[in-house]
Amino acid sequence: MSILRSQVVGCGSYLPARIVTNAELAARVDTSDEWIVQRTGIRQRHVAADDEPTSIVGLKAAQAAITDAGIDPTEIDLIIVATATPDHTFPATATQIQAALGITGGAAFDVQAVCSGFVFALATADKFLTTGGARAALVIGAETFSRILDWEDRATCVLFGDGAGAVVLKAAPGEGTLADRGILTTHIRSDGRYKDKLYVDGGAGSTKTVGFLRMEGKEVFRHAVTNLAETVRHTFEQTGLSGADIDWFVPHQANRRIIDATADKLGISHDHVVVTVDRHGNTSAASIPLALAEAHADGRIKQGQLVLIEAMGGGFTWGSALIRW
């Protein structure tokens, strides 16, 4: 049966130049490199300059992805930006990036699912591309979490970083089998009962302030491993695949211990896992496309390979996608 698939035709990323090490944070709050590395695996993170809002960070990743894809930007008729740190309450950061790319056709909008945002955005783009609603999509995860961190709170400020990653997807014919190139499955979930475990304590519609990130770390950790394993199990049930079939597992990069525990639960060997959390920290919606871009650029992820992504974030939200690269 001939169907449409969303194929990844390009991938790119951008990290702000400034690197903040654990030692630098230890000079500001009561923490240590040893504590941060042992609990999270994070050694450093990038922080955007004052004149680098999320739209600029996202634009640079988008330009890299478009160059990698070798297409004219005007071919893109759908732009979705996953971000929890938009430049403005409105308009959407996606429209700023659209204008900067010189694109005036199609639609551009933001998706808000915090750290799961890239998976939600990819699932949304896939629906448009596979139903004929768009022909070429740019899906961007872009964040400047440094701006919503309470730099006095050692329990959260050591965990996050800034950056962006992007993929270009094109609708292309497939046979409807797992051998097709493109997005093969997506699963997204949310459960708003857990709002207080991970949230920002401000907003345009409530406090009229931006607010700071608040988190019950232990609770988030506990739910993360369970929810992530559940969403991937749905993928395995739907496809008949197992952890041993996955060429590259590219999880949301929040914490090395969550990544390892999830890979173990799913039977995925650690040498098939792409890890960037040590150098990027948790870049929320940007973490997966940043990791994809790195492994794509250095030749680990090759065309035709099976790539599994998953993420969990505030809400709670969580989800996964299986892609044949």
CA distance 130 to 2: 11
254 belongs to the binding site for ligand COA (CB under 6 A): yes
Q: Which of 46, 115, 157, 280 is catalytic?
A: 115
187 is catalytic: no
Q: Which of 46, 187, 252, 296 is catalytic?
A: 252
Contact 201, 279 (CB under 8 A): no
Window contacting ligand COA (CB under 6 A); options: 48-56, 76-84, 99-107, 251-259: 251-259
272 is catalytic: no
CA distance 225 to 242: 17
Kindly state the smallest distance separating residue 265's Cβ from ligand COA, in Å.
16
Window contacting ligand COA (CB under 6 A); options: 89-97, 133-141, 171-179, 213-221: 213-221
218 belongs to the binding site for ligand COA (CB under 6 A): yes
Number of H helices, E strands in the chain: 10, 13
Sign of the alpha-carbon torsion through 82, 85, 91, 93 = negative
Sign of the alpha-carbon torsion through 38, 254, 275, 241 = positive
- Residue of the chain from 46, 60, 154, 296 that contacts ligand COA (CB under 6 A): 154
Which residues in the 21-50 window bind ligand COA by CB under 6 A? Answer: 31, 35-36, 39-40
Kindly state the smallest distance separating residue 175's Cβ from ligand COA, in Å.
36
Of 256, 186, 191, the closest CA to residue 227 belongs to 191
Kindly state the smallest distance separating residue 325's Cβ from ligand COA, in Å.
25
CA distance 186 to 122: 8
What letter represents residue 96's amino acid?
Q
- Residue of the chain from 83, 186, 231, 282 that contacts ligand COA (CB under 6 A): 282
C-alpha dist (Å) from residue 14 to 104, 111, 179, 289 = 24, 19, 31, 10
HSE-up of residue 278 (Cα within 13 Å, Cβ side): 5
Q: Which is nearer to ligand COA, 136 or 220 (CB)?
A: 220
Length of the chain: 325
Binding characters for ligand COA, 108-127, by CB under 6 A (x = yes): -------x------------
Catalytic positions: 115, 252, 282
Kindly list the residues in this chain that would bind ligand COA in the complex (CB under 6 A).
31, 35-36, 39-40, 115, 154-155, 158, 215, 217-218, 220-221, 254-255, 258, 282, 312-313
